Structure 1
Amino acid sequence: MTVACTGTLRDLQDTTPTDIHAFLAAHNDGRYGGNCNGRWDGERYWGAQEPFRMALDLELLEPMLAAYPAIPNGYDGWWTFQTAA
């Protein structure tokens, strides 16, 4: 099943990855290093329980999943790299 998620990956490596696709493939299930904040599978939402946060997540996730496999605008792939806040 294809799903769209919001969240962050924590890099548990000692070195900066040189192959981003290999890095992402190694962290694709959320068990190690991932913090999933919201998840949409086209039918069900998992994540925040606050209505405002849910609405923000779904505003991003619904069109992202509907347009799959097109890469969302502003993203580097099905991810985006941003500086930690």
Structure 2
Amino acid sequence: MLNTNDKFGTTHQSILFYCHVLWYSFYLVFKRLILRYWLFFFKFLLIISDVFVLKIQSCHCNYPCHKYGRDNYHSKKTLVTQKRTKY
């Protein structure tokens, strides 16, 4: 039962009670969705992790990528190595 002698009154406790009820209902719904569609969630997480890994690997050059750009740097590098191999 709600305690009416509390300094916050019953309004504060009823708000807390409804927040807990809402949170628990969301928890049950998401738990059921995850149990039912765990394979789709797993594939989605794999796709997201692949995107982050590719983004991290795209800036592995020695020079800052924001200055030269990855594609610019690598195209210049291949041109330089092609010129060197000709001689």
TM-score between both structures, scaled by the size of structure 2: 0.24
Higher RCO structure, 1 or 2 (CA under 8 Å, sep 6+): 1
Whichever structure has more helix as a proportion of its residues is 2
Whichever structure has more strand as a proportion of its residues is 1
